[in-house]
Amino acid sequence: MRAPFEEMKREFERVLRNRGFSPERAARCAAIFAENSLVGVASHGLNRFPGFIEFVERGLVKPEVEAELVSSFGAWEQWDGNLGPGPLNAYQCTEQAMTLARQHGVGCVGLRNTNHWMRGGYFGWQAAQAGFALIAWTNTKPNAPAWGGLDPRIGNNPLVLAVPNDAAPVVLDMAMTQFSIGRMETARRSGATLPVPGGYDAAGNLSQDPAAILEANRALPIGYWKGSGLAVLLDLVAVLVSGGLATHEIGQRETEYGVAQVFIAFDVTQGSSAALVNQAVEGVIADLRTATPVAPDDEVLYPGERALRTRHENMAHGIPVEPAIWERVLAM
């Protein structure tokens, strides 16, 4: 079953306006959710939309509250998300990081007291399409054990890096666990096995069974101790840059809200012309394409390439949807 992008966006917009979002904010928020499904990340698009609405209805996400400036230190600012909608706060702070970068070459916004930004890659595309490089990340509630431990202490703390390129930006969006919780839940629902080990089962063995890993609550950090360490540092830097809560503090709440995020934008065309930026990025892509594939039908993709292909396909043929979830949204 497929739903056209414009229809999905319109439906999200309708539901958001019925839940207290102004027309402008409903349109922006709906566009982000629909775009996330369009590029193939339904776990943070359609599939997450009903949970987002539930948070709005419970008062954990406040539709009409905007992020506001708390402190300015020049190229670095601290903003308070005031528990507004995560995607809108992140969009606003990405814009603000770019504004600061125009003035100072580099700009950094630390955003505290915000909510789940859904798919972080969205903000990478936002910055790259405006001609900026972006480094951004969020902390989360504890959802994986730190290396050496059994119980969840670290967040999967998704990290985004993006660079502009006229033909196609290069955008990486990766959580610190081998698979996001959303991805493992999707695999569990469809009965799929993970392509590589994604965590430990209850017996303490590495496993490719998403149900066993979710049951044991032991997702595997990328690179074992390395991803665990990176999750700890991303949390710490986010806390110090934003003045917000750490993963362990978010974990004391009844559910995940009030997370901390960092947005660092570089106005790279101050350093070289847009033509030279494109040339540098295209050079790296061209080199990747010369690699010998592991198997004849393998190919080496640059980060963001698969999302772009999925986007083209889904724009033409509609976005694949899980019927029960889509019908639930239509009935909202």
**Residues classed as catalytic:** 44
Residues pairing with 69 in the sheet: 79
- Interaction residues for a second copy, span 71-90 (CB under 8 A): 71-78
Inter-residue contact 228 to 221 (CB < 8 Å):
yes
In whole angstroms, how large is the CA radius of gyration of the chain? 20
d(CA 313, CA 332): 28
Q: Does 303 interact with a second copy (rule: CB under 8 A)? A: yes
d(CA 203, CA 218): 11
Q: Does 170 interact with a second copy (rule: CB under 8 A)? A: yes
In whole angstroms, the minimum distance from the beta carbon of 147 to a second copy comes to 7
- Part of the chain binding a second copy (CB under 8 A), chosen from 8-16, 17-25, 270-278, 308-316: 270-278
- Part of the chain binding a second copy (CB under 8 A), chosen from 13-21, 30-38, 293-301, 321-329: 293-301
Backbone angles phi, psi at 83, to 5 degrees: 60, 30
Report the alpha-carbon angle 229-232-235, nearest 5.
Answer: 150
Question: Residues 239, 259, 307, 321: which binds a second copy (CB under 8 A)?
Answer: 239
Among 157, 160, 168, smallest CA distance to 124 is for 160
In whole angstroms, the minimum distance from the beta carbon of 332 to a second copy comes to 35
Which one, 29 or 264, has the nearer CB to a second copy?
Answer: 264
Question: Residues 2, 204, 205, 317: which binds a second copy (CB under 8 A)?
Answer: 204
Question: Residues 22, 193, 255, 272: which binds a second copy (CB under 8 A)?
Answer: 272
**Residue 224 falls in which region: left (phi positive, over 0), alpha (psi -120 to 50) or beta:** left
Question: Residues 16, 61, 118, 133: which binds a second copy (CB under 8 A)?
Answer: 133
295, amino acid identity: A
In whole angstroms, the minimum distance from the beta carbon of 103 to a second copy comes to 7
